[in-house]
Structure 1
Amino acid sequence: MTTDLFTPLSLGTLSLPNRIVMAPMTRARTTQPGDIPNQMMAQYYAQRASAGLIISEAAQISRQGKGYSFTPGIFTPEQVEGWKKVTDHVHQANGRIYCQLWHVGRMSHESFHDDGKPVAPSALSPDAQVWIVDPQTNVGQMIDCPLPRALEETEIKDIVADFARGARNAMDAGFDGVEIHGANGYLIDQFLRKSSNQRTDAYGGSQENRIRFLVEVCSAVAAEIGADRTGIRLSPYITQRNMADDEIIETMLKAAFELQRIGISYIHLSEADWEDAPTIPEQFRHDLREVYSGTIIVAGKYTKERGEQLLKDGLADLIAYGRPFIANPDLPYRFANKLALSTLDPDTLFGGSGKGYVDYPSLQR
């Protein structure tokens, strides 16, 4: 049987009606103070419930894990109650939704930390910026990240526990599962790479030590809510934010072997989506299949046709779409009926009102 985007798939405890995933995308529209998910966010996600699976925007697992203004948390009772509105609306629209769990590590800003220092495996700058809203003007802009401080080993154990607690909170909020954010230069990714991890203890040095934090987080989350409700996002070929590492592919494949042992539900590959981004070698996709037999999701500027080709080749099981889902809440319907896609307004991506958020039209009736 030929597999396409509309072939159903079982994912853990869920039955997905199609293989189109709504990728996690930060939109920064929480209620303040408290970074609380709200009714407008519930409407936004429910509008896109025809996706086989929605993966929520990243939700920080602790105050320490925050890196951008107005992003949601999953660590206070008020945040959990806010997320319940989202999951209720998605489920009422016959959708399925996972919560992405996030600790940004050094990709943060001094205003979120009592001592003005984000945390990281090592005190190395990401040479990057985060989106911060000025409390005086309420206007957001990209601002340089400060130099982080290196985590103490005891603090690492606390963060592992925070991930497990975040997963439990997500289930209490009504999510169908969680995705651990281990990609794009955030904390777990920082531990994986020798360019950002220069520790000399059990969490640094060898590849086996550098994957230790990822393995501990995934094991703790799987023990808390079940491996069949646990996924992870990785970004092997993304190098910005001072993350280039000539060992990362070998390291990621070792990590994938451990993820197979833990039995997590899926690996989600975040592939670069800019014009001159590196191409993912087909050999890597085959190598990943060799060590990991679970579901593989890919995201990275995929068209309908390119996504279906990867499904037919057996190198992916689900295709995630990001920006096309912003401007096309009925993306699966448009794909199925070969309808034109609307274009998003880039000026409304982060923060603001319902404009550029819940007002994109649906052609599905």
Structure 2
Amino acid sequence: MKLLLIDDNPSNLFMLGKLAQNSGLSDVASFRDPLQALEEARRAQFDMIVVDYMMPGMDGLSLIKEVRALPNYADVPIVMVTTVDQREICYAALEAGATDFLTKPVDMAEAKARLRNLASLRDMHNKLRDRADWLQSEVRKATQEMAVMEEEIIMRLSRASEYRDSDTGAHILRVARISRELAEELGQTSQFCHDIYLATPMHDVGKIGVPDEILRKPGPYTAEERKLMETHTQVGGAILAGSESRLIRLAAEVAETHHERWNGGGYPRGLKETQIPLSGRIVAVADVFDALVSPRPYKNAWPFEKAAQYIADNSGTLFDPDVAQAFALRYFRIIKIVESVPDPVINAA
């Protein structure tokens, strides 16, 4: 427990120091100059302050006001030493933030009891503060652990669709990273950019509900097969719907809307323009571009320039013009993503 004593009278300062030690306050810093004392309070944290009213350079009222304005001094007990007839000064001191008073001549027994009581209250306050800090730290740790667990669940669940689809985990990761690039270029918050990166890998989780003979078909779909394939958006949205997690809700939004198109010609609901959530509009561009530049059993990979031109040509029809523009501005960064996350090479048996 650290005590700061301020009195320009050496005798009073010595007496108050002895009084503090008798009250159990052994760590005492004494100052005759209030300006030096104030500087020390800025440098170090004290648990209690005893200050005389009448001092040269700065009176006790001014010092109390200055101390109360310092960080971490809002609850520190401050005792002002005054003469008996200074009632107006006492009122002003209370307004300035004084906690208690000692009157001159100081009654040693009374002063000892007051300082001891204030020290006890301060000690309880410190323990409560430390407990609150500990609890806050534990809550922060638990929140971080939950976030890590949530991210792991999402990544593992996204891998479930990967095992059933001809697309690879590399495609899932590339689309996630491209989506984050687009969100950043659109000026979205860091939280949104982080969330869409984590939510996007689940955009095709609904393919779990598509029959193997359709999902793995090497050639083009019939109209009926196409209709069944398109149900993966609704299945994905249903799998992820109703979560209390912000991240899972975003993943559900992405899964259901990433095949909607700006002109209303997409599926499953034929949403148009800004009826489509921003997350869906972003992933639509990222997913299409990566699908175009990736080889599939039924097609060769498109050159980057041709796929980028497809995005540009369909700006305002298939794709949100703002997202298409963001794609153009981040084009070279997106190419680096595609090149740095290649599909795995599968050796023939």
Q: TM-score of the superposition, structure 1-length normalised?
A: 0.27
Say which one has the larger Rg.
Answer: 2
Q: TM-score of the superposition, structure 2-length normalised?
A: 0.28
